[in-house]
Amino acid sequence: MAWLSGYSYRKKITIESGYVDASLSNFVLDVVLASGSFTFSRARSDGYDVVFTASDGETALPFTREYYDSTNSKARFHIKVSSVSDTTDTELYMYYGKASDTDHASSGYTVWSESYAGVWHLGDTSYEDALGTYDASLLSGSTPSVTDTLWGRYLTLSSHSFGTDLAMASLASNDEVTVTIVMAWTGSGTFIPIEYSDAFYENSAFAIYLNNYGDGYPTFGECDGSNINIIYDATDCSDGTLRTLTFTMDRSGGGTTTNYSYINGVATGSRTQHGDYQADTTGNLGTETLYFGSDVGVVSPFSGTFGDLRLSTIKRSAAWIKAESYSIRQLLHSLGNEETPITPKALIASISTTITARRQISQMLSVSLSATASLLYALPPPVLDAISKVGACLYLKWT
């Protein structure tokens, strides 16, 4: 196994095939590090020397560093894995411990290249799109606080609204959309953590509702200009538990395709699509605002933990959605023990120890055989003859 030159430590990362229902290409793995899983003092304080390779130990993998907080021993990385198997575990390596290292992080476009229109982690108050295209801004409310969770850093919202102007052309590819968020909420009102529209009855509009019918259930609504199509998910999400919530939309079938909702990667609701994709009331692909934290005008603001908004221009497969949810929730992979390279000095010492041990065993066997021979020679001939016959019988039986 090759060792990446200059690095003092590494850990094996194993993607568990048991959580992967079909092979995936260019999948992004989320890895959260904390004091219990990673010794931050062994790496640079800025995390520049934390890099990732394929299973051969030397082929570099593209990755982004969402944050690296050595003071509080917290970090989160997103690694692009070219192929993830559903039959055998996929292995990669994380190297660290190179004081002279420079930054190896890739651009967001390189990592989030598999049909993502925008990715907002919201682990700080910059509200940036990881792809660098649709950075959001705070529209209402004071600067929200950031909450550390086992899955990463997310915003704590209460009557906050954010928005970014999103070109509809980027969503019109194949007439498909997949939206995923991480959220935890409690409340008795109707909340809208996501809305894509400047007026909901526009043909392009879609939104996620929480508690729309007073039952704590999430729903997904999309409009074709005259009808609002609702996916009703009968899962109570009002207990404040952190969850991944995913909805798919496919308007390519003219009312024959099915849209789905997923909670923690499991399909929990579905509804037949209304009609074809229409960009706006004039039929042109324009620009609309993607609101998160509330709807237009902050009529139904979301209160709770919110982050990891991922918007795709395709209808993701059930296998992808499940793996992505498990990845976000830190269930898809396991982190191995810390390894160090075998130096020439250590290798020579190991060989020397092995040779010494073998010599000692050889000497012990030699003494034992010599003593046994002396004992046999001292026995009377009839006894030796009997032993020989028994030995011959045992030999014939065993062979």
Q: Which residues contact 73 (CB under 8 A, 6 or more apart)?
A: 33, 34, 35, 38, 40
Query: 116-313 maps to which CATH number?
Result: 2.60.120.200
CB of 197 closer than 8 Å to CB of 205: yes
- Tens digit of pLDDT at every position of the chain (399 positions): 799 999 999 999 999 999 999 999 999 999 999 999 999 999 999 999 999 999 999 999 999 999 999 999 999 999 999 999 999 999 999 999 999 999 999 989 899 999 999 999 998 888 999 999 999 999 988 899 999 999 999 999 888 889 998 876 666 555 788 999 999 986 667 788 888 876 544 555 778 888 877 778 888 877 666 666 678 788 888 889 999 999 988 777 665 678 889 999 999 888 776 554 444 444 445 677 888 888 877 778 888 899 999 999 889 999 999 999 999 999 999 999 999 998 666 556 556 666 666 676 667 656 555 665 565 566 676 665 666 665 555 444 444
Give the span between the Cα atoms of 293 and 193, in whole angstroms: 5
Total count of residues recorded for the chain = 399
Instruction: Give dist(CA 217, CA 11) in Å, integer.
Output: 41
Q: How close are the terminal C-alpha atoms of the chain, in Å?
A: 41
Identify which of 30, 14, 12 has the alpha carbon closest to the alpha carbon of residue 85: 14
Spans of all domains in the chain: 1-113+330-340, 116-313, 344-398
Closest by CA position to 187, among listed 140, 239, 141: 239
Indicate the SS3 state at residue 203.
coil
Q: The domain 1-113+330-340: what is its CATH number?
A: 2.60.40
- CA–CA separation, 211 vs 232, rounded Å? 11
- Encoded tokens for 23: 């092979």
Lookup result for tokens 């960009």: 279
Beta partners for residue 376, in sequence order: none
